[in-house]
Structure 1
Amino acid sequence: MTVTVVVGNPKPASRTSTAATLVAKGLRPEAEPTVIDLVDFGAGLLGWGDPAVAAAARTVAESELVVFASPTFKATYTGLLKLFLEQFDGGTGLAGVLAVPVMLGAGPAHALAPDLLLKPVLVELGATTALPGLYLSDRTFADDGVIEGYSDRWRPVVRALTDAAKVADHA
């Protein structure tokens, strides 16, 4: 099982990274996720052909489960995440990837942002987004039980979908 976390927070080692990693581990506890912190790429995200960005995009495209995470910024996901998502071809760039949109915010005003804003972009890029997006409080996610509840509810679905994808790949 290949699990990747893509973090679109402009601050390195952010709460977004911590929360997304907890989500990934909750959904597939047997797999250690690869964490791609987009802030590390700097100006490499602004053009085409940066080798580090291309390698990260390949890692994501070859993953079975990817948690795409962003803080809520101006009521949506960050431009940093948008720049990375531009690396993927529409319709096929994330084909075969089970994607989970996760966003963090200070309050419930933007609780639908993962489903209304981030999920449609992931679908447009070809990802499977069978799980609902997850919105977390940036102050309480580590202790409020939301990640655990989400993981317990959706872990069997993730397992079934990724196992089915493996069977289809070998058919």
Structure 2
Amino acid sequence: MDNVIDVVEFAPALLDRDDSRIQQAVSIVSASNLAVVASPTFKASYSGLLKLFLDQFATADGLRGVTAVPLMLGAGAAHALAPELLLRPVLTELGASVPAPGLYLPEHENQWEPLIQAYSTRWIEHLRPANVHRTNN
């Protein structure tokens, strides 16, 4: 099943660890085989909203068993390494496996589909095992 969690939809609740919507979102991500974790580049890093969401994973292994793809949008090539330098470390710190490089999409690009398709074609074999080996209880 595909799920989309947009942290903007429950931004104020990110400060309340007892909020049921946040707990459900954390459960969905924790139980995922593959998670694309995306953020715009903001002040040369990922957004504060994403940081608040990732802080909800209480333990260092909160994403253990999840294969993650760090994805960031940015205004220019100067931030092209942001997914690798900023988002990958926090995902691995939370226990996620990040077997492929992060994906950076320039926000001024009108057509992301060819970039995403090229990335998928290149890295699918590294990302696929998560979908084959993980079982959800």
The question of a shared fold, defined as TM-score above 0.5 by the shorter chain, is answered with: yes
Structure 1 position 54, deviation (Å)? 0.6
How high is the sequence identity, in percent, across the aligned residues? 51
Q: Distance in 2 between matches of 1:89 and 1:52?
A: 16
The amino acid that maps onto 2:51 is K
**Against the structure 1 CA distance between its residues 53 and 115, is the aligned structure 2 distance closer, same or farther, given a 3 Å change threshold?**
same
Structure-to-structure mapping, 1:10-159, within 5 angstroms: 33-140=2-109, 142-143=111-112, 145-159=114-128
Q: Distance in 2 between matches of 1:41 and 1:120?
A: 25
Question: Is contact 1:90–1:124 with CA below 8 Å preserved after alignment?
Answer: no
The amino acid that maps onto 2:131 is T
TM-score (norm 2): 0.92
The amino acid that maps onto 1:98 is T
**RMSD of aligned alpha carbons:** 1.8
**Against the structure 1 CA distance between its residues 143 and 71, is the aligned structure 2 distance closer, same or farther, given a 3 Å change threshold?**
closer
- Residue 88 of structure 2 aligns to a residue whose secondary structure is helix
Runs (4 or more) in structure 1 with deviation over 4 Å come to: none
Q: Distance in 2 between matches of 1:154 and 1:82?
A: 26
Question: Is contact 1:141–1:147 with CA below 8 Å preserved after alignment?
Answer: no
Gaps of 5+ in 1: 3-32
TM-score (norm 1): 0.75
- Residue 5 of structure 2 aligns to a residue whose secondary structure is strand
**Against the structure 1 CA distance between its residues 119 and 162, is the aligned structure 2 distance closer, same or farther, given a 3 Å change threshold?**
same
